[in-house]
C-alpha cells in the first residue's frame, strides 16, 4: 500500500515496509500519470488517436521536436486529477470505424487502470471517456485540398 502526500502538481508516494522506514520519498508528477494513461490508451486496439484540436496539434508538433518523446505528447491529450491516494482521468479519443465503442471504453478503462496502478501505486477511481470522432479508413485527415478549389465540380449548396 502506498502512503501519499499531495504536493499540488504531483503526488509523493512512499512505500513503507519492514526495514524501509525513513528511506525517502518518491514524487510522481501529474504529467507522469497523464503520460502513462495516454500510452495505455493509444496501445488499446480500436483507438485511432487521443486528443482533439489544439491539444492534438500541440502534441504532434512537440513530438517532432528534437529531444521530445512521444510520451510527453501522449500526456497532453489526457487530463488527470491526482489526490493523496487516488487519480481520476479524462480523455478524448477518436475511434476506428467498426469498433464497438462500449467494448472499447471497457478495454481503455482496464488498460489505463492496470498501467497507472501498477506504475504509481495510486488507485484509479474514475476514467471519463469522450468519443469525439470516428476514423474511417481511406478518409484523409486533412481535407484542405478539397476546400475552395477549382476542381471542376460545382458546389451542391448555394
Residue 119, all three cell numbers: 506504475
Q: Which residue has the higher pLDDT, 16 or 84?
A: 84
Q: Does the pLDDT at position 126 exceed 90?
A: yes
Distance CA 141, CA 20 (A): 52
Q: pLDDT at position 49, please?
A: 94
Kindly state the average pLDDT of the residues 1-27: 54
Q: What pTM did the predictor assign?
A: 0.66
Assess contact for 47 and 93: CB atoms under 8 A. Answer: yes
Kindly state the average pLDDT of the residues 108-137: 97
Kindly state the average pLDDT of the residues 24-33: 86
Q: pLDDT at position 64, please?
A: 45
Q: How confident is the model at residue 139 (pLDDT cuts 50, 70, 90)?
A: confident
Q: pLDDT at position 10, please?
A: 58
Amino acid at each position: 500500500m502506498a502512503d501519499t502526500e499531495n504536493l499540488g502538481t504531483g503526488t509523493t508516494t512512499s512505500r513503507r515496509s519492514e526495514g524501509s522506514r525513513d528511506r525517502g520519498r518518491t514524487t510522481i508528477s501529474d504529467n507522469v500519470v497523464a503520460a502513462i494513461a495516454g500510452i495505455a490508451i493509444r496501445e488499446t486496439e480500436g483507438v485511432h488517436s487521443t486528443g482533439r484540436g489544439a491539444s492534438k496539434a500541440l502534441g504532434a508538433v512537440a513530438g517532432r521536436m528534437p529531444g521530445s518523446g512521444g510520451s510527453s505528447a501522449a500526456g497532453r491529450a489526457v487530463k488527470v486529477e491526482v489526490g493523496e491516494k487516488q487519480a481520476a482521468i479524462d480523455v478524448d479519443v477518436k475511434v476506428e470505424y467498426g469498433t464497438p465503442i462500449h467494448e472499447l471504453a471497457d478495454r481503455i478503462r482496464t488498460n489505463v487502470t492496470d498501467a497507472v496502478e501498477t506504475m504509481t501505486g495510486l488507485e484509479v477511481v474514475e476514467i471519463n471517456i469522450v468519443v469525439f470522432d470516428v476514423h474511417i479508413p481511406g478518409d484523409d485527415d486533412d481535407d484542405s485540398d478539397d476546400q475552395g478549389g477549382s476542381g471542376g465540380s460545382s458546389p451542391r449548396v448555394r
